[in-house]
């Protein structure tokens, strides 16, 4: 599978050194919305210049090249074990060649593996699909914004959040309010709602793969996403957390069925440098 490995190295390069067009467009709109010459406006100006500079000089947009997360849709019959080998090998090569920052640290020894591979590193989610197309989505998820994420178990009395969609809305605003500027706003928020902790965390992260221009298939969620985006931008946190109109550029919500007793909400925060890309094989 030599060719696939090289394809993944190229995917790494594209994802680390550029910003997807929908995100860049949203940042440009945010820039136009801020008062020219304000801290928020000038910061977004530098952010846009940084995006251009990274693309032109093929350098990582952010020094934190993140934790690599693969979401892979695999046609029946293709070996997951073999695929994983290609991902790991591509990760080693990409780390040295681009370069990426080595981010995989051993919990016991505190030693950095030096090549972004280790136990559970990179993160890989496989899903078997019908048809013959292998689809690989790669996200490079920065640590600062990953730390800003939160999980809730509804009802949450301190938020006056009940077990309904309005409760979900309160959780998302709470996450942003508590994150302030620490995870590099303007943010994209991925939200997962359902009945088991492990599932909602992955579901939330998976929402970050959606383009900002995509429309949720569930009408009720479209309304909440729009309302949340409007309300989050009223918080006044702004780019860098130093005040301004643009605190978020997108909210995407995914739902699973839940157990009658359980109502979990996971909010995954993504920085303005939301880096994702797809390879179709």
Partner 1 sequence: MVGPKKIKLPLSSEDVAGLKVGDLVLLSGNIVSGRDRMHKYLVEKRPAPDDIPFNLSGAVIYHCGPVIKKVDDNYMVIAAGPTTSMRVEMYEAAVIREYGIKGIIGKGGMSGNTLRALQETGCVYFNTIGGAAVYLADRIKKILDVWKLDEFGPTEAMWLFEVDEFPAIVTMDAHGNNMHRDIEELSLRKFSELTR
* Residues of the shown chain interacting with partner 1 in the complex, contacts defined by CB under 8 A: 37-39, 42-43, 46-47, 49-50, 53-54, 57, 59-65, 99-103, 110, 112, 114, 142-144, 147, 159-161, 170, 173-174, 177, 180-184, 231, 234-238, 240-243, 271-273
Q: How many CA atoms lie within 13 A of 140 on its CB side?
A: 29
**Alpha carbon distance 192, 197 (integer Å):** 10
Q: Which is nearer to partner 1, 3 or 56 (CB)?
A: 56
Closer by beta carbon to partner 1, 173 or else 224: 173
Distance, CA of 27 to CA of 45 (rounded, Å): 9
Nearest in space to 100 (alpha carbons), one of 70, 71, 68: 68
End-to-end C-alpha distance for the chain, whole angstroms: 12
The minimum distance between CB 223 and partner 1, in angstroms, equals: 16
Could you tell me if 181 and 240 are in contact, meaning their C-beta atoms sit under 8 angstroms apart?
Answer: yes
The alpha carbon torsion through 116, 117, 118, 119 (nearest 10 deg) reads 110
Nearer to partner 1, 102 or 165 (CB): 102
Which of residues 180 and 199 has its CB atom nearest to partner 1 in the complex? 180
User: Taking the complex as a whole, how short is the minimal distance between the CB of residue 35 and partner 1, in angstroms?
Assistant: 10
Of 183 and 277, nearer to partner 1 (C-beta) is 183
Kindly state the smallest distance separating residue 189's Cβ from partner 1, in Å: 15
For residues 224 and 222, give the distance between their C-alpha atoms in angstroms, rounded to a whole number.
6
CB of 77 to partner 1, least distance (A): 39
Closest approach of partner 1 to the CB of residue 271, in Å: 6
Yes or no: say if 160 and 225 are a contact pair by the CB < 8 Å rule: no
């Amino acid at each position: 599978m030599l060719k696939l490995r090289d394809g993944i190295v190229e995917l790494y390069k594209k994802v680390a050194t550029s910003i997807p067009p929908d995100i860049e467009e949203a940042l440009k709109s945010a820039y136009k919305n801020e008062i020219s010459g304000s801290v928020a406006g000038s910061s977004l100006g530098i952010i846009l210049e940084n995006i251009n500079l990274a693309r032109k000089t093929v350098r990582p947009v952010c020094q934190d090249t993140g934790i690599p997360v693969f979401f892979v849709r695999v046609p029946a019959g293709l070996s997951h074990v073999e695929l994983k080998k290609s991902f790991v090998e591509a990760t080693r090569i990409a780390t040295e060649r681009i370069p990426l920052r080595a981010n995989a640290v051993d919990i016991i020894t505190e030693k950095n593996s030096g090549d972004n591979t280790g136990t559970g590193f990179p993160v890989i989610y496989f899903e078997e699909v019908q048809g013959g197309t292998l689809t690989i989505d790669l996200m490079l998820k920065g640590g600062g914004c990953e730390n800003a994420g939160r999980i809730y178990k509804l009802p949450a009395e301190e938020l006056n959040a009940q077990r309904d969609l309005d409760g979900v809305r309160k959780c998302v605003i709470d996450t942003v309010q508590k994150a302030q500027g620490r995870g590099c706003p303007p943010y994209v928020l991925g939200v997962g709602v359902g009945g088991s902790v492990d599932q909602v965390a992955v579901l939330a992260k998976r929402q970050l793969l959606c383009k900002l221009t995509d429309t949720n298939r569930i009408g009720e969620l479209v309304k909440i996403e729009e309302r949340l985006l409007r309300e989050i931008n009223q918080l006044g946190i702004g780019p860098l957390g130093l005040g301004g109109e643009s605190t978020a550029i997108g909210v995407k919500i995914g739902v699973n069925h839940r157990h009658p007793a359980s109502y979990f909400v996971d909010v995954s925060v993504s920085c303005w440098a939301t880096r994702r890309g797809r390879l179709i094989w």
